[in-house]
Structure 1
Amino acid sequence: MRLLHTSDWHLGRTFHGHSTDAHLEQVLDALAAAVKDRGVDAVIVAGDVFDSSTPKAEAFAMLNRVVAAVRSVGAQVVLTSGNHDGPARLGHMADFAAFGGVHVRTDLARLADPVLLTDENGQVAIYALPYIHPEFLRAAYGDFGGSTHAQALSFAMDLVRADSEARRADAPGLRTVVASHCFAAGVEATTEDSGRAEERDITRGGLNIVPLSVFDGMDYAALGHIHGRQTLTERVRYSGAPLRFSFGERASAKGAWLVDLDAHGLERVEWLELPTPRAAVRLQGTLEALLADGAHPEAVDCWVEAVLTDDQLPREAMRRLQTRYPFAVTLSHRPAGRHDHGDATYATRVEGRSDAQIVDEFLTFVRNGQGPTEAERALLHDAFQALEVKESSR
Structure 2
Amino acid sequence: MQIPDDARFGAYTLPYGVFSTGGEDPRVGVAVGDHIIDIAPLAAAESLEGGHVFNQPSLNPFMALGRPAWDAVRAWLRELVTSEAHRPLVETHLVPAGAATLHMPFEVADYVDFYSSQAHAENVGRIFRPEAPSLPAAWRHLPIGYHGRSATVVPSGTEIVRPSGLRRVGDAVAHGPSLRLDIEAEVGFVVGTPSEFGRPVNVSDFAEHVFGLVLVNDWSARDIQAFEYVPLGPFLGKSFATSVSPWVVPLAAVEAARVRPPARDPEPAPHLADADDWALDLWLEVEWNGTVVARPPFRYMYWTPAQQLAHLTANGAHVRTGDLYASGTVSGPGKDQRGSFLELSWNGTEPVTLGDGSVRSFLEDGDTVVIRASAPGPDGGVVGLGAVSGTITGAVTGTATV
TM-based fold match above 0.5: no
With normalisation by structure 2, the TM-score equals: 0.22
The structure whose residues are more often helix, as a share, is: 1
Question: Computing the radius of gyration over CA atoms, which structure comes out larger, 1 or 2?
Answer: 1
